[in-house]
């Protein structure tokens, strides 16, 4: 075997400017890009780019529609197999967020093939394929190009009944918000890269990012869900605001009820906050009231861009306790983190639930 140059042994995250969903365009940037583009007038299209929905839904028949999404990002950690699993989990989540069943996917791969052994690429694809298989998804091919830094993800197709599509725009005043994963992946990934995370915290981070949201959706579909999304690059506050805008309501966020990944609060206190969190703050802080009453580390985590984050459901208050109980029995760590209230559309009021009820 011939000797390879030292460059091939470098870490996957070396030179990556922004990892995972922190690499997304900010809400402001995306809005500027989309502004002025021609909108699509198609009666079969149930959802598209309006209000930043998680996926497009196209009606085929009265009882069948396809759900289409694509999601990809640079490496979040140096293990190529885990990177593949996380990227696949993140992409498939968009189908669950629309209430759909994922069935088919295509790989999206950009890679500097001269910088790494072929085994690295193979392990990324293997991780994605195995995670897709766990979700019942067939990866039937894909597309690859050479690029300066690695990028991987999936284009995913799912199925849903047109009458049962979940959007982020249907919540009603009085609905409660249930979050199905803890937040803090952006902060955690920075700590992981700096090698200052404990083994227990690392395991919790990876487990969260590789947990499919199928179980959470299955539990939720037993109830009347009025709106749903998954919490990813715009952070918890950003995705709540998108739901509030689409639902023409105001959200009251119970900041002390938000579950956090282990050690992330302390790391945020030390300044381990990704640039994406500051971009989210710039995009959304103007729509938040009382946010300055929250201590800075927790505030940073509320804006923290999530990679493979949890589903966020809106549903009637009478069903919340039962749903939380079902989720707990199924092994899903979920919490009621807010509610929809009367007020200025697309805004958030941040409160301490334990004090303000």
Question: How many other C-beta atoms can be found within 10 angstroms of the C-beta atom of residue 228?
Answer: 27
% of the chain surpassing 70 pLDDT: 88
Where does the chain hold its CATH 3.30.1330.10 domain(s)? 6-164
Output the pLDDT for position 69.
96
By annotation, the residues acting in catalysis are: 21
Strands 250-254 and 225-230 come out as: unpaired
Where does the chain hold its CATH 3.90.650.10 domain(s)? 176-356
Contact 240, 178 (CB under 8 A): no
- Give tens-digit pLDDT for 44-68: 888 866 667 888 999 999 999 999 9
- Give tens-digit pLDDT for 249-299: 999 999 999 999 999 999 999 999 999 999 999 999 999 999 888 999 999
69 has which bridge partners? Answer: 156
SS (H, E, C) the chain: CCCCCHHHHCCCCCCCCCCHHHHCCCHHHHHHHHCCCCCCCCCCEEECCHHHCCCEEEEEECCEEEEEEEEEECCCCCCHHHHHHHHHHHHHHHHHHCCCEEEEEEEEEEECCCCCCHHHHHHHHHHHHHHHHHCCCEEEEEEEEECCCCEEEEEEEEEECHHHCCCCCCCCCCCEEEECCCECHHHHHHHHHCCCCCHHHHHHHHHHHCCCCHHHHHHHCCCCEEEEEECCCCHHHHHHHHHHHHHCCEEEEEHHHCCECCCHHHHHHCCCCCHHHHHHHHHHHHHEECHHHCCHHHHHHHHCCCCCCCEEEEECHHHHHHHHHHHHHCCCCCEEEEEEECCCCCEEEEECHHHHC
- In this prediction, residue 3 has a pLDDT band, given cuts at 50, 70 and 90, of very low
- Give tens-digit pLDDT for 287-310: 999 988 899 999 999 999 999 999
Output the pLDDT for position 51.
65
Q: What is the mean pLDDT of residues 142-150?
A: 92
Structure tokens at 298: 């927790």
Output the pLDDT for position 11.
83
% of the chain surpassing 90 pLDDT: 76
Q: Under CATH, domain 176-356 is a member of which superfamily?
A: PurM-like C-terminal domain (3.90.650.10)
Structure tokens at 243: 């739901």
45 has which bridge partners? Answer: 58
Output the pLDDT for position 261.
97
**Which is nearest to 187 in space by CA: 174, 199, 196?**
196
Classify residue 117 as left (phi > 0), alpha (psi -120 to 50) or beta.
Answer: beta
Output the pLDDT for position 357.
38
- In this prediction, residue 247 has a pLDDT band, given cuts at 50, 70 and 90, of very high
- In this prediction, residue 9 has a pLDDT band, given cuts at 50, 70 and 90, of low
Q: Under CATH, domain 6-164 is a member of which superfamily?
A: PurM-like, N-terminal domain (3.30.1330.10)
- Give tens-digit pLDDT for 106-132: 999 999 988 899 999 999 999 999 999
Output the pLDDT for position 8.
43
Angle of helix 275-284 relative to helix 27-34, nearest 10 degrees, comes to: 60
- Give tens-digit pLDDT for 195-245: 899 999 999 999 999 999 999 999 999 999 999 999 999 999 999 999 999
- CA 260 to chain centroid: 15
Angle of helix 80-97 relative to helix 118-134, nearest 10 degrees, comes to: 30
Q: What is the mean pLDDT of residues 87-111?
A: 97
CA distances from 103 to 175, 217, 267 (A): 31, 15, 38
CA torsion sign for 162, 163, 164, 170 is positive
Q: Which of 22-26, 87-91, 185-189 has the lowest mean pLDDT?
A: 22-26
């Amino acid at each position: 075997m011939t000797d390879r140059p030292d460059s091939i042994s470098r870490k996957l995250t070396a030179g990556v400017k922004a990892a995972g969903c922190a690499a997304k365009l900010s809400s402001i940037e995306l809005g500027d890009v989309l502004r002025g583009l021609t909108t699509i007038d198609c009666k079969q299209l149930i959802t598209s780019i309006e209000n930043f929905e998680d996926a497009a839904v196209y009606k085929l028949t009265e009882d069948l529609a396809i759900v289409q999404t694509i999601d990809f990002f640079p490496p979040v950690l140096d293990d190529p197999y885990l990177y593949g699993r996380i990227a696949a989990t993140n992409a498939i989540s968009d189908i669950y967020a629309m209430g759909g069943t994922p069935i088919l996917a295509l790989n999206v791969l950009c890679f500097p093939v001269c910088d790494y052994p072929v085994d690295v690429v193979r392990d990324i694809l293997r991780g994605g394929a195995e995670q897709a298989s766990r979700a019942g998804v067939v990866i039937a091919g894909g597309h690859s190009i050479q690029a300066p830094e690695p990028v991987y993800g999936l284009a995913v197709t799912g199925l849903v009944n047109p009458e049962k599509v979940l959007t982020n725009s249907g919540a009603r005043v009085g609905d409660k918000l249930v979050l199905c994963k803890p937040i803090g992946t952006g902060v955690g990934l920075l700590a992981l890269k700096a090698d200052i995370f404990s083994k227990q915290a690392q395991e919790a981070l990876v487990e969260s990012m590789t947990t499919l949201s199928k179980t959470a959706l299955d539990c939720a579909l037993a109830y009347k869900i009025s709106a749903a999304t998954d919490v990813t690059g715009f952070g918890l506050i950003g995705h709540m605001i998108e739901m509030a805008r689409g639902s023409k309501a105001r959200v009251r966020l119970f900041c002390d009820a938000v579950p956090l990944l282990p050690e992330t609060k302390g790391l945020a206190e030390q300044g381990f906050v990704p640039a994406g969190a500051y971009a989210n703050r710039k995009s959304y802080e103007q729509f938040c009231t009382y946010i300055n009453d929250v201590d800075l580390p927790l505030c940073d985590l509320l804006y923290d861009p999530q990679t493979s984050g949890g589903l966020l459901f809106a549903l009637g208050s009478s069903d919340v306790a039962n749903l939380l109980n079902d989720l707990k029995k199924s092994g899903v760590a979920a919490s009621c983190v807010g509610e929809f209230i009367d007020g200025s559309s697309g805004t958030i009021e941040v409160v301490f639930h334990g004090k303000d009820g």
